[in-house]
Amino acid sequence: MTTRIRSFVVLVTAALLQATIFSEFRFLGASAEILLLVTVLAGYHGGPDHGAIFGFFASLLQDALTGAPFGLHAMVYSPLAVGVSSLEDRLVESRPIVYGIGLVLAVIIGTSLAGFTGLLFGQTAITNVLLIKKSIIAGLTTAIVAAPINKSIQWSLSMSNPGVVELRIPEK
């Protein structure tokens, strides 16, 4: 299975999860942002180009699910994936806690920016305080479910990762 097919499978699964289980089970009115999570992880594991394209299609699905006009979430998701990839390149610290905090922050920033973009385009009827509160809760709940989704993103990209290069020294 190619990377594209695997990515498609991951995207569709993420959309179904977002529309079903994660819409039903909310905590303090906020749900986990699965499509944003796969975008962040695709940017992290797959690099800026892959992350941006992955984020673009994830955002179109998010638009369709939430009834927002096409392109609204893409204004945030694709740049966010590129940003995450760029930061990952510059990251010196590699402890899991740093990744965890980074992921929560990325989701909070992505969710709030998507909310503010919605406000700009008249798609959101919510106060700024509530928007930030919901973004923080969404970031934290998303981090809880990040581990299995991280595995699936790694699986979708495993075809594009270079294999182990075996160095052979010719016998004299």
At its nearest, how many Å lie between another protein and the CB of residue 86? Answer: 4
Nearest to residue 150, comparing CAs of 93, 86, 100?
100
Q: 113 or 170: whose CB is closer to another protein?
A: 113
At its nearest, how many Å lie between another protein and the CB of residue 128? Answer: 12
Interacting span for another protein (CB under 8 A) from 3-11, 21-29, 98-106, 144-152:
21-29
Q: Cα angle vertex 82, ends 81, 84, to 5°?
A: 65
Residue 136, C-beta contacts closer than 8 angstroms, at least 6 positions apart: 108
Nearest to residue 35, comparing CAs of 120, 138, 160, 158?
138
CA contacts within 13 A on the Cβ side of 39? 31
Interacting span for another protein (CB under 8 A) from 2-10, 52-60, 143-151, 157-165:
52-60
Binding track over 65-104 against another protein, x by CB under 8 A: xxxxxxxx-xx--xx--x--xx--x---------------
CA dist 113 and 102 (Å) reads 16
Residues that bind another protein (CB under 8 A): 15-16, 18-21, 23-31, 33, 47-49, 52-53, 56, 59-72, 74-75, 78-79, 82, 85-86, 89, 111, 114-115, 118, 121-127, 130-131, 134-135, 138
